[in-house]
Amino acid sequence: MQLSDCPLGADVTVTAVDPSCDACLRMHELGLRVGTCVRVTHRGPAGTRVVAVGASRVAVDAQTASRIEVAVS
């Protein structure tokens, strides 16, 4: 499942991040890397997702969210 399709409030684990994505390293640095447990906390405008990574919150646009594969924890 892609992070963009993830239901609100579900605890999921990142299983893959599209390595061709330009911001792959930055996603990694912000905690969106394989093995991390995350949770979508909000849906914003234009498909934006706010993701809880540990105690911090990261907003990701719909296109970037679609490049992150997750599985329900």
Site for other proteins in 12-41 (CB under 8 A): 19, 21-31, 33, 39, 41
53 and 36 Cβ atoms separated by less than 8 Å: yes
**Of 63 and 71, which CB lies nearer to other proteins in the complex structure?**
63
Q: Name the residue type at position 30.
A: L
Give the closest residue to 69 by CA, choosing from 44, 34, 41: 34
Residue 71 CB, nearest approach to other proteins (Å): 19
Q: Contact positions toward other proteins, by CB under 8 A?
A: 19, 21-31, 33, 39, 41-42, 44-46, 48, 50, 52, 54-61, 63-64
